[in-house]
């Protein structure tokens, strides 16, 4: 095969790897282990585009490099195959989600294999496989049957809690969670309780528990959505309205691990930005919990958490979340209508929108007052949607002089803003949160500084039983239930209204068949449609399923031992592979998947089921490959802004009227444009002008398929053929217009080319800027695509895609091939010894590639290969001593080409992964001679070569004995000769 044919070579070696299981990892090896992991994909129907493989290529380079370094490498792949998209498709088509999911996975596997990734496919996992989610359910049951003991600072089986209750009741039990959700009882009372009462008493201690929780409820999708799935009050998928609703939900007590999750970040080799996002999400703060009694409502106390209890005398109002449990109780009759209206409006906004919207101030007065616990002053109680029921206590002590959001609220509603420190400035313009100065208008802490005032107030509140010092976390327990079909069934059944865990022997609890994949007519989740679906034929199952992150929180462990039927991962396998050495994935998972995975791992650690301290030791976030979108400009009418009847009639008249007298620069266009579907070439958009007194025009950008554009030139035939609704559309160019396939020239001349506008955006099917890797592989080969994606720039950065650039990488691979096959002829590798110049080039590559891979700087490695091949081509190199190690160096980047050449060099087929990384020898980089500039009194007059090992004395002697002084010294006496080793010589005369 003298001619380089990437498609033929790549298919050959992909088949070989598959047949021989070349990359199969073993759980027992004398080699040191290395576990490199990709965040596994959700298999969407669209398949991969060129942006998806970026991280996979990088991790594969590392995996192949580590094999060359003599390590036993585990590099697995699987699929996060439960999810809402498949379920929505099932609702629309009636096809079971398992069918479409299977089809999508087959597409992904085909695409991943043709890119030459060295995955151990024998370890593939799918979260929707019952033999996988059996163990997801099993882990849930361990959470359900555990509590968090604050005395031992770890999770324990619920039986240890029962033992404490039997010995001394609830007294002295220190458990993670809110004490308000539990009730006190003695050991005797515990013994007298029935089974149902005991389970009810235990429930608030469990790490998996049920509770009425505010959720994002989407009626259009019939399910609860996470905050990430809601945008501007609408579901990201489908655009359905979403409202906040109080619903019974399963929760996981991740808050028990808040401090450990925070401290563990210090041990991880992760990007600082990701660790900081997790720190902010966990949000540890030290402050005080304060009780404000509500006036006229005995027993109705409002608890607030504040990190600035020192400012309590400046609290001029309280703000409650509209969902706060006391709102109905304390709302005055005269405010009822306004409060109800405000609550209804709040339900239509997502938590994220409420938190991020700092521009608009809204709220409503409840008509009730609380008493400030330090001086008894009445404090009005307001509702505002910037306070969330699930954060802290759902109530805020508003101090407008010290908090800008409170300040804006107070200004808007004309509430007082008293100063509380003599150091506060410009309170007529903004809040000042300073901790400097001395307190004023502050009762018992007047004249004190920050630390003294804080300690004094906490002591006072604790003495009066109206508050206490407290460490708080922003992190909330994780809502675990989803009202969907396509997810893991929660292994819980109900007997007399009480939740019980399914027996482990009865796992997996498999999804039942149902007739439709939408909620029942009574509003139950889709699983409510299952017939005769009861635990052991008697008890109703939980109808919610697990969220998508359940299966992805532990999949890295199953890869270690995927065939184990008796354990979620075998003890020996887990002990051998330990932590993931390198985890590659997107930064968008920082506060979701990565946080939940760490939580589950710490829990399993408490149970003695894993041996490490954290799941992922090193994390790399690859950047995004951005697509280059192409857009055309559509001409439309400018409509009246008013909604009056007259304006409505005017709007109709405008929409029905053609564009009659639009001007192009100073010349009126000699055509009457239709009402709709007029498009304007990008190069003339700024020369369009509307004529006063006639219909005005505005230009709107629309995406077009990049396959219909070449160098910003739109193929009008392709575009029109793909849009039959644009049959009579007009495409205006600089020199005329296209309509129905023919071009009419303007009298003033100009181009007939219709140009698009380019824009760099996220690569997305909706933007028609997706590049299919299949097309590029068919044309250039997978090795070229792999190299090109690495060559685009630093791994962590965002990079725009340009298909034209891949041709340069393709040319490089052909040049590499021709080092072995000159002029595409027969193999011409010789056994001649390498020259110093050739060895210098080779060892520079050995050193640079090892350094670059260790630093994940793959783009500079590709540049190094290109420079080396150019140098070796110029030297006419065809020597085994150079080309064999160079093939090894290239193999992680272009594995198919490397395997082919390795076999041609006489090695066993497919054995390149078992070879050793070439040894770097620094002596080959040392120059034999050094050229010195030689100067007289600082002015360079000549250049002389000396051996690299020559001493300063030897160089000085040689200069004095040479003809240099005769030629340039002008007969002057030499005062001294200064030699800077390796740099220069200066003769002072």
Q: Closest Cα to residue 77, out of 141, 45, 120, 34?
A: 120
pLDDT for 686: 72
Judge if 375 and 409 occupy the same domain.
yes
Look at phi and psi of residue 886 and say left if phi exceeds 0, alpha if psi is from -120 to 50, else beta.
Answer: alpha
pLDDT for 301: 93
587 has pLDDT over 80? yes
Taking the C-alpha atoms of residue 270 and residue 621, their distance in angstroms, rounded to an integer, is 9
pLDDT for 396: 94
* Burial 186-215, CB ≥16 within 10 A → b, else e: eeeebeeeeeeeebebbbbbbbbbbeebbb
Judge if 417 and 468 occupy the same domain.
yes
Least confident segment among 49-58, 639-648, 812-821: 639-648
Taking the C-alpha atoms of residue 561 and residue 564, their distance in angstroms, rounded to an integer, is 6
Taking the C-alpha atoms of residue 918 and residue 882, their distance in angstroms, rounded to an integer, is 11
pLDDT for 265: 97
- Reported as a single tens digit per residue, the pLDDT across 30-42 is 999 999 999 999 9
Please report whether residue 33 resides in a domain: no
691 has pLDDT over 50? no
CATH code (residue 969) = 3.10.20.590
Mean pLDDT of the region 535-543 = 96
90 has pLDDT over 90? no
Taking the C-alpha atoms of residue 235 and residue 217, their distance in angstroms, rounded to an integer, is 9
714 has pLDDT over 70? yes
Q: pLDDT grade, residue 744 (50/70/90)?
A: confident
Judge if 466 and 334 occupy the same domain.
yes
Taking the C-alpha atoms of residue 72 and residue 89, their distance in angstroms, rounded to an integer, is 41
pLDDT for 241: 84
pLDDT for 575: 97
- Reported as a single tens digit per residue, the pLDDT across 487-502 is 999 999 999 999 999 9
Q: Closest Cα to residue 810, out of 838, 840, 782?
A: 782
Judge if 726 and 836 occupy the same domain.
no
Least confident segment among 202-206, 250-254, 454-458, 740-744: 740-744
Q: pLDDT grade, residue 157 (50/70/90)?
A: very high
pLDDT for 695: 42
* Burial 65-88, CB ≥16 within 10 A → b, else e: bbbbeebbbbbbbbbbbbbbbbbb
Q: pLDDT grade, residue 643 (50/70/90)?
A: very low
Mean pLDDT of the region 874-883 = 97
Mean pLDDT of the region 44-72 = 95
pLDDT for 735: 84
Please report whether residue 687 resides in a domain: yes
pLDDT for 908: 97
> What is the pTM (predicted TM-score) of this model?
0.84
Distances (CA, A) of 422 to 401, 402, 410, 437, 439: 12, 12, 21, 6, 6
- 341 neighbors 278 (Cβ within 8 angstroms): no
Taking the C-alpha atoms of residue 932 and residue 518, their distance in angstroms, rounded to an integer, is 82
Taking the C-alpha atoms of residue 139 and residue 597, their distance in angstroms, rounded to an integer, is 12
Please report whether residue 780 resides in a domain: yes
Taking the C-alpha atoms of residue 403 and residue 412, their distance in angstroms, rounded to an integer, is 14
- The domain of 742 spans 627-640+658-762
C-alpha angle 936-942-948 in degrees, rounded to nearest 5:
105
- 757 neighbors 701 (Cβ within 8 angstroms): yes
653 has pLDDT over 60? no
Please report whether residue 338 resides in a domain: yes
689 has pLDDT over 80? no
Q: Which residues pair with 898 in a beta bridge?
A: none
Taking the C-alpha atoms of residue 466 and residue 373, their distance in angstroms, rounded to an integer, is 7
Helix (H) or strand (E) holding 941: strand 939-947
Mean pLDDT of the region 726-752 = 84
Judge if 777 and 854 occupy the same domain.
yes
CATH code (residue 854) = 1.10.730.10
Question: Of 473, 505, 528, which residue is a domain's last?
Answer: 473
Specify binding-site residues: 765
- What does the chain come to in residues? 989
pLDDT for 640: 54
pLDDT for 665: 54
State how far Cα 424 lies from the chain centre.
41
Q: pLDDT grade, residue 603 (50/70/90)?
A: very high
677 has pLDDT over 90? no
- 510 neighbors 130 (Cβ within 8 angstroms): yes
Judge if 304 and 370 occupy the same domain.
yes
Question: Of 444, 473, 502, which residue is a domain's last?
Answer: 473
Q: pLDDT grade, residue 692 (50/70/90)?
A: very low
More confident call, 947 vs 36: 36
Mean pLDDT of the chain: 91
Task: Give the three-class secondary structure for 437.
Answer: coil
Give the number of domains in the chain. 4
Cα end-to-end distance, the chain, whole Å: 68
694 has pLDDT over 50? no
Taking the C-alpha atoms of residue 865 and residue 297, their distance in angstroms, rounded to an integer, is 78
Please report whether residue 386 resides in a domain: yes
Taking the C-alpha atoms of residue 318 and residue 652, their distance in angstroms, rounded to an integer, is 51
Taking the C-alpha atoms of residue 369 and residue 330, their distance in angstroms, rounded to an integer, is 9
Please report whether residue 20 resides in a domain: no
Mean pLDDT of the region 539-568 = 96
Specify binding-site residues for ATP: 765
Q: pLDDT grade, residue 105 (50/70/90)?
A: very high
Burial (CB < 10 A; 0-12, 13-18, 19+), residue 836, is exposed
Mean pLDDT of the region 349-357 = 72
Q: What DSSP line would sit under 58-107, residue for residue?
A: HHHHHHHHHHHTT-EEE----B----HHHHHHHHHH---HHHHHHHHHHH
Taking the C-alpha atoms of residue 898 and residue 303, their distance in angstroms, rounded to an integer, is 68
Judge if 329 and 420 occupy the same domain.
yes
Judge if 848 and 720 occupy the same domain.
no
More confident call, 582 vs 974: 582
Judge if 806 and 887 occupy the same domain.
yes
Estimate the crossing angle of helix 773-780 against helix 806-820, to 10 degrees. Answer: 30
Please report whether residue 410 resides in a domain: yes
Please report whether residue 279 resides in a domain: no
- Reported as a single tens digit per residue, the pLDDT across 892-926 is 999 999 999 999 999 999 999 999 999 999 989 88
641 has pLDDT over 60? no
Taking the C-alpha atoms of residue 137 and residue 546, their distance in angstroms, rounded to an integer, is 9
Mean pLDDT of the region 392-404 = 93
1 has pLDDT over 90? no
Judge if 733 and 779 occupy the same domain.
no
Judge if 902 and 951 occupy the same domain.
no
Sorted by sequence, the CB contacts under 8 Å of residue 135 that are 6+ apart come out as 554, 558, 568
CATH code (residue 324) = 3.90.740.10
Question: Of 924, 947, 962, which residue is a domain's last?
Answer: 924
State how far Cα 977 lies from the chain centre.
63
pLDDT for 397: 95
- Reported as a single tens digit per residue, the pLDDT across 243-253 is 877 778 899 99
Judge if 313 and 347 occupy the same domain.
yes
């Amino acid at each position: 095969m003298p001619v380089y044919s990437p498609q033929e070579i790549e298919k050959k070696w992909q088949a070989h790897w598959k047949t021989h299981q070349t990359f199969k990892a073993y759980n027992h090896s004398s080699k040191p282990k290395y576990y490199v992991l990709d965040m596994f994909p959700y298999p969407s129907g669209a398949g991969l585009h060129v942006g998806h493989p970026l991280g996979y290529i990088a991790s594969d380079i590392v995996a192949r490099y580590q094999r060359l370094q003599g390590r036993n490498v585990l590099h697995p792949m699987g699929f996060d195959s439960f999810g809402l998209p498949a379920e929505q498709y099932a609702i629309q088509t009636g096809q079971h989600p398992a069918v479409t999911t299977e089809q999508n996975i087959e597409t992904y596997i085909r695409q991943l294999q043709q890119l030459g990734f060295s995955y151990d496919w024998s370890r593939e996992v799918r979260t929707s496989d019952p033999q996988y989610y059996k163990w997801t359910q099993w882990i849930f049951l361990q959470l359900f049957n555990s509590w968090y003991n604050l005395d031992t600072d770890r999770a324990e089986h619920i039986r240890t809690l029962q033992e404490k209750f039997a010995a001394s009741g609830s007294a002295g039990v220190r458990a993670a969670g809110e004490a308000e959700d539990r009730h006190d009882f003695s050991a005797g009372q515990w013994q007298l309780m029935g089974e149902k009462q005991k389970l009810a008493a235990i429930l608030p201690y469990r790490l998996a528990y049920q509770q009425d929780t505010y959720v994002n409820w989407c009626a259009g999708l019939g399910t609860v959505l996470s905050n990430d799935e809601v945008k501007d009050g609408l579901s990201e998928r489908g655009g359905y309205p979403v409202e906040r609703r109080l619903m019974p939900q399963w929760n996981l007590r991740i808050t028990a691990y808040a401090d450990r999750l925070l401290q563990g970040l210090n041990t991880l080799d992760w990007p600082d930005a990701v660790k900081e996002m997790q720190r902010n999400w966990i949000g540890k703060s030290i402050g005080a919990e304060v009780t404000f009694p509500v006036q006229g409502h005995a027993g109705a106390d409002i608890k607030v958490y504040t990190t600035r209890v020192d400012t309590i005398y400046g609290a001029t109002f309280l703000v409650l979340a509209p969902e706060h449990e006391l709102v109905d109780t304390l709302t005055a009759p005269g405010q009822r209508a306004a409060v109800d209206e405000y609550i209804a409006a709040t339900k239509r906004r997502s938590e994220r929108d409420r938190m991020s919207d700092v521009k608009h101030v809204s709220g409503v007065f409840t008509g009730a007052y609380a008493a400030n616990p330090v001086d008894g002053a009445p404090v009005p109680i307001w509702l505002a949607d910037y306070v969330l029921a699930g954060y802290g206590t759902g109530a805020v002590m508003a101090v407008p002089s010290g908090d800008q959001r409170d300040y804006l609220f107070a200004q808007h509603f004309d509430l007082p803003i008293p100063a509380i420190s003599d150091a506060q400035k410009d309170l007529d313009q903004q809040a000042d949160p300073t901790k400097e100065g001395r307190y004023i208008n502050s009762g018992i802490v007047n004249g004190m500084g920050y630390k003294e005032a804080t300690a004094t107030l906490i002591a006072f509140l604790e003495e009066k039983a109206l508050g206490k010092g407290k460490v708080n976390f922003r992190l909330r327990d994780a809502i675990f239930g989803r009202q969907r079909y396509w997810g893991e069934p929660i292994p819980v059944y109900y007997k007399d209204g009480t939740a019980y865990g399914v027996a482990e022997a009865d796992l997996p609890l498999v999804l039942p068949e149902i007739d439709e994949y939408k909620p029942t007519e009574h509003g139950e989740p889709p699983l409510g449609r299952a017939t005769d679906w009861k635990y052991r034929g008697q008890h109703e199952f939980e109808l919610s399923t697990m969220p998508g992150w359940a299966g992805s929180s532990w999949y890295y462990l199953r890869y270690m031992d995927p065939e184990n039927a008796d354990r979620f991962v075998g003890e020996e396998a887990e002990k051998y592979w330990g932590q993931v050495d390198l985890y590659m994935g997107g930064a968008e998972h920082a506060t979701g998947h990565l946080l939940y995975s760490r939580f589950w791992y710490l829990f399993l650690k408490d149970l003695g089921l894993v041996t490490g301290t954290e799941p992922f030791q090193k994390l790399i976030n690859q950047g995004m490959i951005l697509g280059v979108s192409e857009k055309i400009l559509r001409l439309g009418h400018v409509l009246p802004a008013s909604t009056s009847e007259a304006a409505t009639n005017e709007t109709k008249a405008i929409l029905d009227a053609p564009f009659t007298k639009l001007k192009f620069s100073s010349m009126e266009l000699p055509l009457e444009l239709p009402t709709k579907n007029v498009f304007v070439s990008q190069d003339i958009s700024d020369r369009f002008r509307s004529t006063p007194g006639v219909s005005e025009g505005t230009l709107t950008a629309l995406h077009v398929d990049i396959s219909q554009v070449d160098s910003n030139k739109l193929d009008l035939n392709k575009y029109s053929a793909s849009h039959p609704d644009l049959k009579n559309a007009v495409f205006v160019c600089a020199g005329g217009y296209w309509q129905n396939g023919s071009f009419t020239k303007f009298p003033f001349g100009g181009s007939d080319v219709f140009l698009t506008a380019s824009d760099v955006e996220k690569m997305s099917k909706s933007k028609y800027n997706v590049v299919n890797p299949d097309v590029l592989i068919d044309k250039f080969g997978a090795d070229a695509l792999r190299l090109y994606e690495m060559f685009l720039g630093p791994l962590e950065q965002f990079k725009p895609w340009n298909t034209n650039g891949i041709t340069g990488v393709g040319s490089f691979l052909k040049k590499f091939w021709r080092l072995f096959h000159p002029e595409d002829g027969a193999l011409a590798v010789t056994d001649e010894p390498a020259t110093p110049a050739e060895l210098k080039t080779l060892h520079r590559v050995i050193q640079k590639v090892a350094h670059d891979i260790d630093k994940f700087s793959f783009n500079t490695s590709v540049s190094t290969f290109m420079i080396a091949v150019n140098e070796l081509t110029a030297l006419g190199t065809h020597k085994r001593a150079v080309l064999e190690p160079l093939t090894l160096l290239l193999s992680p980047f272009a594995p198919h080409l490397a395997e082919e050449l390795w076999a041609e060099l006489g090695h066993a087929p497919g054995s390149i992964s078992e070879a050793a990384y070439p040894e770097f020898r620094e002596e080959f980089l040392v120059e034999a001679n050094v050229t010195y500039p030689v100067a007289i009194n600082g002015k360079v007059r000549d250049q002389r070569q000396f051996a690299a090992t020559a001493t300063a004395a030897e160089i000085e002697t040689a200069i004095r004995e040479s003809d240099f002084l005769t030629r340039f010294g002008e007969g002057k006496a030499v005062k001294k000769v200064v030699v800077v080793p390796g740099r220069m010589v200066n003769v002072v005369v």
